């Protein structure tokens, strides 16, 4: 548990934790708004957004990718709303039409274009490669204080930290209007809160979490973290602040134990190699949700 | 090449797959309509994602039993079992906890899919050469299919379609009129179970063609598309079947020409193209028609309100109203009504006065329901009735 | 529409400035059918006004459009003669109870604190005075003992009282209520009306959608009879007449609950 841990395991664990918390925070409000599946839709449209950004700029750079993905998320949300209103079609079906079509378009664009030189493919988009985010310059715990070694940290770590910071500031700053408009939209509008832009901002924050996480861990973990920790947390408490706190705890727990289980679990049962960390983190979050659904103190509507 | 594919000239296998995809598309379109009308469209997304661990575990089991692990039937059987488990989880979470169905769907699809990925990585380490093909279940892959698999696909697609057609009556009843279905002795939970069973079978059969990520589109897109063309539920079913069939047919044929591309996205985009056309140009609900009607309607409301204000000698507060009136030559730029404007204003006031009588009089209850603030009353009542009403205008009434 | 009423621009302007809430030419439509059409309404200061009309007459729509909760197709609103945007602090709103997700993880006291949103802003600290005000508002509606309950655990009537307490916490001059007595028990109805009359006696203005014709004369000073358009408006004694009710309800009055003795004229 020395140099090897700091170099090989610490960065992916930290990145996993940052991803999990960044998704769980907006996930709480999406869950309470009955928009849990918006997280699902967003993480599917991140792929076409990034592919289009890549085709337009020819770069795999954070800026264009972020813009492309956020743009795709906004387009998706607007399109879903348009289909819902024009066709008088329930939100779930409208969502199913739009995000599958955008994802399909992204896949075809990706397969058709020459992306062999860059790190972009469908499977990567789905479950990422958390294990590869290692810190070669680290020689031990001391490296955490060594500026030269710190410069060699995987770029995903500061990127994800920044995304989490932006999201946390957003949730902190707009906590009151978010809670108010989620609970009672009519009253919120009567107070002069502009609920439509606020809802869109929440979606954009979710898109930021999804796109920043996408490169490191793929979209499946993003969907799991948007939904499972907040859903489990909802069954632990009847207060919004406590729910968000529980969801952060669950997200961290799932990220850390999922990574450890994926990396070391197979060794404990005598197998050779490790399994997908992203898949295992999603699995652990599901187990946590299952436990909360069976034993959470506030798991039913009247409890 | 594409023309050959569409005319089924690309060989026996490709022809079987294309026909199978078309049959599957029809079945999915019809079954998806019932799902859509029961407002549970995205349950199918949970079902399809939940197939992945089953596919992986079936492979592991078959290898452990000494097989090669490639039997399509075995893999699909595993997919079906774990999809059913996923469906049970969704229903348990929705019923037994405070979570809504959307959260349950999202949780199940992501967790099952994540677990499936774990299994896939286990398989990778088991024996690298053997797992070839499992990725094809993610996005669909019909290129280079074995003859036996193509036959399995075509036959099971035909069977699913037959099943949907046999059960269409109870399914339709539950979707269009659940109250009546229950009153006539059908058990709604049982019909729902049958519907979910069909969706599950469609999903499993479609895994190899469309892939588990996108199969949900084959179920939903046709129904949503059909909704733009008709208000009649039975027509929705037929149109959805056609849209689904065309998507499957054209998509599978196109992918036979481009074997390097996954089949699923092509099928989905063919369906989406039909949907997009409907969204934009459907005469009743299309974007184009809606925007035009709304603008026209808003203008009529403003002109009417402006005329009534003129007739009552009240000021017009809104700039848009003034602009519209001026543009139609009803008022001068300074707000003074023209002769034409005065005539139109008195006509509007007379119309409103007559409507007020009609709406206050029980004898005209039916005509009163036609009131929308804009309809000229002559189009609703006969000249005789109008004369009768005009007689009442002179009489004192308690309005004002 | 006041068909016989012709006002000059000047007097109309004067009335609007004096009125706590004046609506002009308000039309709202869902799709191609207007829910309300060209509605003019001037609420009298210091009075309790009921908006009354048959189902689907657009009563809730009128309130929501007046408060900017939904966007009208046409029309303007003034509050004490000023545009709504500048006067939000002076209006308190009680939406329909059924419009809310009662499973939301929030306690009674937190709901009441929501009424202080405009005072607290995004990050303003909750101080003792705010908590005391919230507790006091709960006390005024008889819910002081329920402050720390989760809202989903309350009965319908209790939830409605909490909503009223939240409106009280807004410390406004105008109180707009959408169906405050729908689905509540008799004790709650009495408690709510007592609070509202207390507000009126303190010089505040109350405007409520009301569905029980029998209690209109007992509870309210003024009435607006609505059926897509305004059929009649004014003090109860003048506007709440048999003829006007017939005009507003058409043939449907027989199905509405009405006590003939309570109807003036």
Tell me the CA distances in angstroms from C63 to A65, A196, C95, one per residue in order.
45, 20, 9
Question: Which chain C residues contact residue A237 at CB under 8 A?
Answer: 105
Q: How far is the C-alpha of B77 from the C-alpha of B62, rounded, in Å?
A: 11
CA distance A264 to B75: 29
Best C2, C224, C251, C253 member to test B by mutation, with max B CBs in 10 Å, is C251
Tell whether B223 is within 8 A of chain A (Cβ): yes
For the ranges B312-326, B363-377, B378-392, C235-249, the maximum mean pLDDT occurs at: C235-249
Say how far apart CA A122 and CA B141 lie, in whole Å: 14
| Strand C21-30 versus strand C74-79 pairing type | antiparallel
Q: Does B127 touch chain C (CB under 8 A)?
A: no
State whether residue B313 is helix, strand or coil: coil
pLDDT tens digits for range C105-143: 999 999 999 999 999 988 888 999 999 999 999 999 999
Calculate the average pLDDT of chain A.
88
Share of chain B above pLDDT 70, in %: 96
pLDDT of residue C129: 94
> What is the per-residue pLDDT for B276?
93
Chain C nearest-CA distance from B235, in A, is: 23
Chains touching chain C through at least 3 C-beta pairs below 8 angstroms are: A, B
Distance CA(B260)–CA(B258), nearest Å, equals 6
DSSP type of residue B40: -
Supply the ipTM of this predicted assembly. Answer: 0.93
Average confidence score pLDDT of chain C? 87
Which residues in chain A touch residue B41, judged by CB atoms under 8 angstroms apart? 90, 92-93, 96
pLDDT for C240 equals 93
Contact by Cβ (8 Å): C176, C93: yes
Residue B263 near residue B141, CB atoms below 8 Å? yes
Q: Per DSSP, which regions of chain A are E strands?
A: none
Residue in C closest to A192 by C-alpha: C88
Shortest distance between the Cα of B215 and any Cα of chain A, in A, equals: 9
Interchain contact B306–A (C-beta under 8 A): no
CA distance to partner chain A, nearest, from residue B288 (Å) = 10
* Distance separating alpha carbons of residues C230 and B400, to the nearest angstrom: 10
CATH number of this structure's domain C9-262, picked from the four choices 3.60.150.10, 3.30.1300.10, 3.40.50.300, 3.40.190.10: 3.40.50.300
Spell out the residues 6+ positions from residue A239 whose beta carbon is closer than 8 angstroms to its own. C105, C106, C107, C110, C150
- Structural domain includes residue A301: no
- Highest mean pLDDT out of B88-97, B134-143, B259-268, B343-352: B88-97
pLDDT in the model for residue C264: 45
Give the count of beta carbons closer than 10 Å to the beta carbon of residue B28: 43
CATH class, domain B2-278, is: mainly alpha
Task: Give the C-alpha separation, A109 to A52, whole Å.
Answer: 8
Using alpha carbons, select from C92, C49, C58, C46 the residue that is nearest to residue C201: C46
Going from N- to C-terminal start, the domains of chain C cover 9-262
* CB B49, CB B185: distance < 8 Å: no
Residue C23 sits at the chain A interface (C-beta within 8 Å): no
Which residue from C114, C120, C122 is facing A173, i.e. has the nearest CB? C122
Which is nearest to C230 in space by CA: C218, C248, C204, C243?
Answer: C248
The Cα of B260 is separated from the nearest Cα of chain A by a number of Å equal to 8
DSSP E strands in B258-360: the ranges are none
Cβ contact (<8 Å) for B371 and C103? no
Question: Do B243 and B224 contact (CB within 8 A), yes or no?
Answer: no
Name residues whose C-beta falls within 8 Å of residue B27's C-beta, 6 or more positions apart in sequence: B157, B160, B161, B163, B164, B198, B202, B244
Look at residue B91 in the predicted model and tell me its pLDDT.
Answer: 93
Residues 6+ apart with CB under 8 A from A141: A2, A6
Provide, as residue numbers in chain A, all residues whose Cβ is less than 8 Å from the Cβ of B139: 107, 122
Most C-contacting residue of B94, B301, B313, B353 (CB-CB within 10 A), to test interface = B301
Q: How far apart are the first and last CA of chain A?
A: 44
> What are the angstrom distances between the C-alpha of C98 and each of B223, B307, C256?
31, 38, 22
| B to C CB pairs, distance under 8 Å | 100
Average of per-residue pLDDT across B248-270? 88
CB–CB contact C100 A190 (8 Å): no
| DSSP conformation class of B316 | P
Mutate to test the interface with A, among B88, B89, B107 (most CBs of A within 10 A): B107
- Strand ranges across the sheet with C229-235: C91-94, C174-177, C205-209, C48-52, C222-227, C229-235
Q: Give the per-residue SS3 of chain C.
A: CCCCCCCCHHHHHHHHHHCCEEEEEEEEEECCEEEEEEEEEEECCCCEEEEECCCCCCHHHHHHHHCCCCCCCEEEEEECCEEHHHHHHHEEEECCHHHCCCCCCCEHHHHHHHCCHHHHCCCCCCCHHHHHHHHHHHHHCCCHHHCCCEHHHCCHHHHHHHHHHHHHHCCCCEEEECCCCCCCCHHHHHHHHHHHHHHHHCCCEEEEECCCHHHHHHHCCEEEEEECEEEEEEEHHHHCEHHHHHHHHHHHHHHCCCCHHHCEC
DSSP SS3 for B337: strand
d(CA A224, CA A243): 17
Provide the CATH number for the domain around residue A26.
Answer: 1.10.3470.10
The more confidently predicted of residues B155 and B240 is B240
Predicted pLDDT of residue C63: 95
Distance between CA atoms of residues C131 and B379, nearest Å: 61
**Is the CB of residue B291 less than 8 Å away from at least one CB of chain A?**
no
Q: Is A187 on the interface with C (CB under 8 A)?
A: yes
* Bridge partner residues of C26 (DSSP): C39
Q: Where in chain B is the domain with CATH 1.10.3470.10?
A: 2-278
> How far is A177 from chain C, CA to nearest CA, in Å?
7
CA dist A16 and A229 (Å) reads 14
Q: What is the pLDDT of residues A218-238, one digit of tens each?
A: 888 899 999 999 999 999 999
Write down the pLDDT at residue B49: 94
Q: What are phi and psi of B330, to 5 degrees?
A: -90, -30
Put simply, whether A299 touches C (Cβ < 8 Å) is no
pLDDT at B366 over 60: yes
Half-sphere exposure (Cβ direction) of B368: Cα atoms closer than 13 Å: 22
Distance from CA of B263 to the nearest CA of A (A): 10
Task: Please tell me which of the candidates A93, A234, A303 has its beta carbon nearest to residue B41.
Answer: A93
Q: What is the pLDDT of residue C252?
A: 56
Q: Cβ of A243 under 8 Å from any chain C Cβ?
A: yes
Q: With contacts defined as CB-CB under 8 Å, which chain B residues touch A39?
A: 106
**Cα distance between the two ends of chain C:** 21
C82: left (phi over 0), alpha (psi -120 to 50) or beta: beta
Strand order in the sheet with C74-79: C33-43, C21-30, C74-79, C82-83
Instruction: For residue C12, give both structure tokens.
Output: 């109309």
- The DSSP symbol for A238 reads S
d(CA C205, CA C214): 22
Residue identified by tokens 């012709």 is: C6
- Single pTM value for the model: 0.87
**pLDDT tens-place string over residues B32-83:** 999 998 888 899 999 999 999 999 999 989 888 877 777 888 999 999 999 9
- If you average pLDDT over residues B107-134, what whole number do you get? 82
Residue A84 pLDDT exceeds 60 = yes
Is residue A235 within 8 A of residue A296, CB to CB? The reply is yes
Distances (CA, A) of C202 to B178, C22, C136, C175, C195: 53, 21, 17, 12, 11
Whether C201 has a pLDDT exceeding 60, the answer reads: yes
The per-residue pLDDT of chain B, averaged, comes to 86
Question: Between these two residues, A1 and C34, which has the higher pLDDT value?
Answer: C34
At B288-337, the pLDDT tens digits run: 888 898 888 888 888 888 888 888 888 887 888 888 888 888 888 888 88
Say whether B114 and A279 touch across the interface (CB within 8 A).
yes
Q: Is the pLDDT of residue C173 over 50?
A: yes
- Helix B339-360 vs helix B287-311: crossing angle, to nearest 10: 100
The pLDDT, as a whole number, for residue B267 is: 92
**For residues A36 and C261, what is the distance between their CA atoms, to the nearest angstrom?**
54
For range A257-284, the mean pLDDT: 87
A93 to chain B: which residues are within 8 Å by CB? 36, 39, 41-42, 220, 223-224
Does pLDDT of C226 surpass 60? yes
Number of domains in chain A: 1
Q: Work out the burial of residue B65: count CB atoms within 10 Å of its CB; fewer than 13 is exposed, 13-18 middle, 19 or more buried.
A: exposed
R_g of chain C computed on alpha carbons = 19
Task: Kindly identify which residue of chain A lies nearest to residue C103, measuring between CA atoms.
Answer: A301
Whether residue C147 contacts residue C138, with contact meaning beta carbons closer than 8 Å, is answered with yes
Question: What residues in A contact C69, CB-CB < 8 Å?
Answer: 186, 189-190
Q: Given pLDDT bands bounded at 50, 70 and 90, which one contains residue C10?
A: low
For residue C94, the model assigns a pLDDT of 96
Mean pLDDT of A274-302: 92
Task: Give the gap in angstroms from C-alpha B263 to the nearest C-alpha of chain C.
Answer: 40
Task: Say if residues C191 and C218 touch (Cβ distance below 8 Å).
Answer: no
């Amino acid at each position: 548990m020395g140099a090897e841990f700091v170099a090989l395991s610490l960065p992916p664990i930290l990145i996993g934790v940052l991803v999990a918390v960044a998704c769980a925070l907006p996930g709480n409000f999406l869950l309470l708004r009955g928009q849990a599946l918006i997280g699902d839709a967003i993480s599917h449209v991140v792929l076409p957004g990034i592919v289009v950004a890549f085709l337009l700029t020819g770069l795999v750079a954070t800026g264009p990718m972020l813009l492309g993905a956020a743009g795709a998320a906004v387009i998706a949300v607007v399109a879903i709303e348009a289909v819902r209103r024009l066709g008088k079609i329930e939100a779930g079906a409208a969502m199913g039409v739009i995000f599958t079509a955008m994802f399909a378009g992204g896949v075809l664009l990706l397969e058709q274009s020459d992306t062999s030189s860059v790190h972009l493919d469908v499977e990567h988009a789905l479950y990422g490669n958390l294990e590869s985010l290692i810190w070669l310059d680290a020689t031990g715990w001391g490296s955490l204080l060594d500026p030269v070694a710190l410069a060699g940290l995987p770029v995903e770590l500061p990127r994800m930290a920044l995304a989490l910071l932006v999201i946390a500031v957003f949730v902190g700053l707009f906590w009151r209007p978010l809670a108010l408009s989620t609970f009672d939209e009519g009253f919120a509008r009567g107070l002069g809160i502009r609920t439509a832009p606020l809802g869109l901002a929440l979606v954009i924050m979710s898109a930021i979490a999804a796109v920043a996480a996408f490169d490191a861990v793929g979209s499946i973990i993003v969907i799991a973290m948007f939904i499972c920790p907040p859903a489990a947390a909802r069954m632990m408490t009847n207060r919004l602040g406590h729910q968000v706190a529980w969801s952060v705890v669950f997200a961290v727990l799932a990220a850390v134990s999922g990574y450890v289980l994926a990396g070391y679990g197979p060794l404990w049962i005598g197998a050779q190699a490790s399994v997908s960390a992203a898949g295992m983190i999603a699995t652990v979050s599901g187990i946590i949700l299952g436990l909360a659904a069976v034993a959470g103190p506030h798991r039913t509507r009247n409890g | 090449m594409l023309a050959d594919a569409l005319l089924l000239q690309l060989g026996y296998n490709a022809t079987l797959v294309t026909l199978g995809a078309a049959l599957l598309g029809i079945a999915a379109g019809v079954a998806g309509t019932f799902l859509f009308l029961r407002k549970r469209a995205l349950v199918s997304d949970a079902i399809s994602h939940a197939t992945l661990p089953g596919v992986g575990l079936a492979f592991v089991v078959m290898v452990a039993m000494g097989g090669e692990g490639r039997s399509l039937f075995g893999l699909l059987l595993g997919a079906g079992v774990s999809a059913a488990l996923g469906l049970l989880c969704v229903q348990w979470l929705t019923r037994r906890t405070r979570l809504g169905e959307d959260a349950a769907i999202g949780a199940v699809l992501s967790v099952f899919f994540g677990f499936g990925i774990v299994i896939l990585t286990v398989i990778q380490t088991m024996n690298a050469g053997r797992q070839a093909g499992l990725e094809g279940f993610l996005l669909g892959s019909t290129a280079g299919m074995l003859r036996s698999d193509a036959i399995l696909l075509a036959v099971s697609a035909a069977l699913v379609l037959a099943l949907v057609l046999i059960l269409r009556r109870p399914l339709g009843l539950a979707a269009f009129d659940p109250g009546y279905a229950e009153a006539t002795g059908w058990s709604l939970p049982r019909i729902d179970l049958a519907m979910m069973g069909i969706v599950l079978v469609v999903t499993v059969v479609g895994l190899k063609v469309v892939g588990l990520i996108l199969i949900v589109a084959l179920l939903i897109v046709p129904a949503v598309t059909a909704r733009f063309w008709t208000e009649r539920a039975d027509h929705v079913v037929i149109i959805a079947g056609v849209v689904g069939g065309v998507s499957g047919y054209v998509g599978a044929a196109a992918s036979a020409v481009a074997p390097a591309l996954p089949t699923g996205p092509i099928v989905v985009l063919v369906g989406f193209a039909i949907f997009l056309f409907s969204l934009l140009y459907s005469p009743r609900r299309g974007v184009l028609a809606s925007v035009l009607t709304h603008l026209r309607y808003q203008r009529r409301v403003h002109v009417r309100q402006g005329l009534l204000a003129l007739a009552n000698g009240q000021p017009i507060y809104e700039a848009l109203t003034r602009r519209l009136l001026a543009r139609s030559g009803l008022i001068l730029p300074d707000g003074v009504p023209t002769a034409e404007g005065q005539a139109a204003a008195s006509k509007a006031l007379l119309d409103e006065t007559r409507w007020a009588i009609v709406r206050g009089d029980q004898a005209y209850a039916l005509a009163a329901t036609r009131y929308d603030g804009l309809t000229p009353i002559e189009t609703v009542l006969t000249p005789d009735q109008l004369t009768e009403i005009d007689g009442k205008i002179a009489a004192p009434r308690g309005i004002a | 529409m006041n068909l016989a009423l012709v006002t000059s621009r000047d007097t109309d302007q004067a009335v609007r400035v004096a009125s706590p809430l004046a609506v002009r030419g308000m039309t709202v439509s869902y799709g191609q059918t207007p829910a309300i059409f060209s509605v003019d309404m001037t609420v009298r200061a210091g009075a309790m006004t009921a908006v009354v009309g048959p189902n689907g007459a657009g009563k809730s729509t009128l309130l929501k459009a007046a408060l900017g909760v939904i966007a009208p197709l046409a029309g303007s609103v003034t509050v004490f003669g000023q545009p709504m945007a500048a006067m939000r602090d002076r209006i308190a709103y009680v939406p329909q109870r059924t419009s809310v997700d009662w499973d939301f993880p929030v306690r009674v006291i937190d709901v009441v604190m929501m009424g202080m949103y405009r005072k607290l802003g995004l990050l303003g600290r909750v101080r003792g005075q705010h908590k005391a005000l919230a507790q006091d508002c709960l006390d005024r509606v008889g819910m002081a003992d329920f402050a720390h309950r989760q809202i989903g655990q309350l009965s319908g009537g209790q939830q409605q009282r909490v909503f009223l307490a939240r409106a009280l916490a807004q410390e406004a001059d105008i109180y707009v209520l959408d169906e405050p007595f729908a689905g509540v028990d008799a004790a709650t109805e009495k408690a709510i009306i007592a609070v509202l009359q207390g507000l009126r006696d303190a010089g505040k203005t109350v405007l409520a959608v009301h569905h029980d014709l029998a209690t209109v004369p007992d509870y309210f000073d003024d009435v607006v009879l609505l059926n897509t358009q305004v059929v009649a408006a004014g003090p109860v004694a003048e506007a709440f007449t048999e003829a006007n009710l017939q005009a507003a309800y058409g043939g449907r009055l027989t199905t509405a609950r009405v006590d003939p003795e309570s109807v003036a004229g």
